[in-house]
Amino acid sequence: MATAKMAKAKRSTKPSVKKYSNYIGGEWVKSSSGQYFDNVNPADTTDIVGRFPDSTEEDVNRAVEAAKEAAVRWRRTPAPRRAELLFTLGEILRGKKDQFSTEMTREMGKVLKETGGDVQEAIDCTYYTAGEGRRLHGFTTPAEMPNKFAMCVRQPVGLCGLITPFNFPMAIPSWKLIPALVCGNTVVLKSGEDVPLSSLNLVKACEEAGIPKGVVNLVNGAREAGAALVANDDVRLISFTGSTTTGKKIAEACARDNKIVSLEMGGKNAIIVMDDADIDNAVEGSLWGAFGTSGQRCTASSRLVVHKKVYKKFCDKLVERAKTLRVGNGLDPKTEVGPVINERQMEKILTYIEIGKNQDKATLACGGNRLTKGSYANGWFIEPTVFTNVKPKMRIAQEEIFGPVTCVIPFSTLDEAINIVNGVAYGLSSAIYTQDVNRAFYAMQELYTGICYVNSATIGAEVHLPFGGTKGTGNGHREAGTQVLDIFSEWKALYVDYSGKLQKAQIDDVEI
């Protein structure tokens, strides 16, 4: 995803741009390659946010060594003590929220309110998950023999490799890093190559919070660094968020090495709008779900499945409002929709718009163009785009576009709508707008997704509930909530026999 941005950036030779480092074993160090890549502002590609080390296999292996060295001490640190450092981390993130949000908008593009939300999500995740330091509940259960005790506890899995995407530059790294740490693992984080500054800010805050050397390590870079992390024998677990294509490759490599792997991949989420819905509310939700973060959320509302009785009214209002959305630099407080992340993603989105028009032959109701004039000249801007008269099997209604494009699909019965929503390869998020409690509960039961909303859009998950999806979206794991602990810890069953003699489970008779 970063190739285009990096390729363009590499041509820049501005000497004044700040150089950043990797963080390995508690030291800020250069890459062994001596090479850097540029972190470019997608709203203005003449603005270079910073130069980051283009890390090699050697850098990754060094980071893994450092994480290995720190592992025993960190694992033996009582979880409530580990959590105390994480609470301090939460305080630091809170104190720097404005700085981190502004820097995130500059490197990633989304509007300031949303980057504020992103940092807030990292703060929420840190506080919530740090609380687990005093829980990390196991359980006790009766043993089948007399004078014998049985219980289950969580133990850390070991060394965790975290590979993160561009769209939530601090929230998603925190979803992985914080639970990994509270469970007693050490980590190597490979930052998203389009947004390395936000990961670096998070890791620097970990250093400031007093997390011991080697517990958290950061390598910047692209594919080579990610592949080296997946290939390293000392890495026990890979947690990945990103494209389905890359996720599947990672899963294959992890399967060969018997690594634990947690995958969070694509989505093709849908909102159902029933004929009894509050249409204005549904339109506002749809705009937010489809065009928030310029549609670059795994949870984006990229399909709007609308009852035929209200289809025209809904489409008219949606299109009228979509045309008024202000596209621009996310640092401008008036902007509602920022740029997309890089040239390659922009080309992909524009290709899908062409497919929608020429191959699928849907109706382009508004948008559809790249914006290039005036203040748009140096950025990757696309108009909010709505396709109407979309049929469920069209490519634009089946494939993840990851941009400011949504499709409106008509239906007649709720069962038909549910089949449309479920009729894609993914299963992350779904929603229904209705005033009818029976319809709402029926939809909650039948929509086969990991997340489901009633009377709001498909985006906006909160950190204390599990996040993840069915089918092609993931591999059965859930991030966030307490469920994430099942990724970053393994169960250990403990039996204590205090009878003073040999007792054979399943074999000895027990007198009653």
Active site residues: 264, 298
Please check whether residue 197 is in contact with residue 103, taking contact to mean a CB–CB distance below 8 angstroms: yes
Shortest distance, position 290 Cβ to ligand UN1, whole Å: 12
Q: Measured from the CB atom, is 168 or 411 closer to ligand UN1?
A: 168
Q: Is 197 in the site for ligand UN1 (CB under 6 A)?
A: no
Q: Is 262 in the site for ligand UN1 (CB under 6 A)?
A: no
Shortest distance, position 316 Cβ to ligand UN1, whole Å: 27
Q: Which range of residues in 143-151, 294-302, 366-374, 378-386 is near ligand UN1 by CB under 6 A? A: 294-302
Structure token pair of residue 205: 């805050």
Residue 219, SS3 per DSSP: strand
Q: Is 459 in the site for ligand UN1 (CB under 6 A)?
A: yes
Distance of CA 112 to the CA centre of its chain: 18
Q: Which range of residues in 2-10, 50-58, 78-86, 459-467 is near ligand UN1 by CB under 6 A? A: 459-467
x-or-dash pattern for ligand UN1, window 57-96, by CB under 6 A?
Answer: ----------------------------------------
> 416: buried, middle or exposed (CB in 10 Å: 19+, 13-18, 0-12)?
middle
Q: Is 297 in the site for ligand UN1 (CB under 6 A)?
A: yes
Q: Which range of residues in 5-13, 215-223, 293-301, 418-426 is near ligand UN1 by CB under 6 A? A: 293-301
Q: Is 287 in the site for ligand UN1 (CB under 6 A)?
A: no
Number of residues that bind ligand UN1 (CB under 6 A): 9
Q: Of 127, 168, 291, 381, which lies in the binding site for ligand UN1, with binding defined by CB under 6 A?
A: 168
Q: Measured from the CB atom, is 166 or 381 closer to ligand UN1?
A: 166
List all residues 6 or more positions away from 276 whose beta carbon is below 8 Å from its beta carbon.
434, 435, 436, 439
Shortest distance, position 298 Cβ to ligand UN1, whole Å: 4
Q: Which range of residues in 85-93, 231-239, 295-303, 397-405 is near ligand UN1 by CB under 6 A? A: 295-303
Shortest distance, position 460 Cβ to ligand UN1, whole Å: 5
Q: Is the dihedral of CA 193, 198, 203, 204 positive or negative?
A: positive
**Ramachandran angles phi, psi of 36, nearest 5°:** -130, 155
Q: Of 26, 138, 460, 466, which lies in the binding site for ligand UN1, with binding defined by CB under 6 A?
A: 460
Structure token pair of residue 459: 């985006």
Q: Measured from the CB atom, is 297 or 439 closer to ligand UN1?
A: 297
Q: Of 299, 302, 342, 473, which lies in the binding site for ligand UN1, with binding defined by CB under 6 A?
A: 299
List all residues 6 or more positions away from 199 whose beta carbon is below 8 Å from its beta carbon.
164, 169, 170, 173, 189, 191, 192, 218, 220
Cα(134)–Cα(127) distance, integer angstroms: 12
Q: Measured from the CB atom, is 465 or 505 closer to ligand UN1?
A: 465
Cα(234)–Cα(230) distance, integer angstroms: 10
Cα(437)–Cα(101) distance, integer angstroms: 39
Shortest distance, position 420 Cβ to ligand UN1, whole Å: 21
Shortest distance, position 297 Cβ to ligand UN1, whole Å: 3
Shortest distance, position 76 Cβ to ligand UN1, whole Å: 34
Q: Which residue has the tokens 């639970």?
A: 179
Q: Measured from the CB atom, is 162 or 279 closer to ligand UN1?
A: 162
Q: Measured from the CB atom, is 101 or 167 closer to ligand UN1?
A: 167
H or E segment to which residue 160 belongs = strand 159-163
Integer-rounded Cα Rg, in Å, for the chain is 24
Shortest distance, position 322 Cβ to ligand UN1, whole Å: 19
Q: Is 298 in the site for ligand UN1 (CB under 6 A)?
A: yes
| Sites for ligand UN1 among residues 94-133 (CB under 6 A) | 121
Shortest distance, position 12 Cβ to ligand UN1, whole Å: 29
27-29 and 22-24: which strand pairing?
antiparallel
Query: Taking Cα atoms as reference points, which of 28, 60, 78, 71 lies closest to residue 215?
Result: 71
Q: Of 167, 186, 220, 342, which lies in the binding site for ligand UN1, with binding defined by CB under 6 A?
A: 167
SS3 for 421-474 is HHCCCEECEEEEECCCHHHHHHHHHHCCCCEEEECCCCCCCCCCCCECCEECCE
Q: Is 178 in the site for ligand UN1 (CB under 6 A)?
A: no
Q: How far apart are the first and last CA of the chain?
A: 66
Cα(397)–Cα(379) distance, integer angstroms: 27
DSSP state of 406: E
Q: What is the largest CA-CA distance in the chain?
A: 88
Q: Measured from the CB atom, is 151 or 454 closer to ligand UN1?
A: 454
User: According to DSSP H, which parts of 292-436 are helical?
Assistant: 308-324, 343-354, 395-398, 414-422
Q: Measured from the CB atom, is 20 or 168 closer to ligand UN1?
A: 168
Which residues make up the interface to ligand UN1 (CB under 6 A)? 121, 167-168, 297-299, 459-461
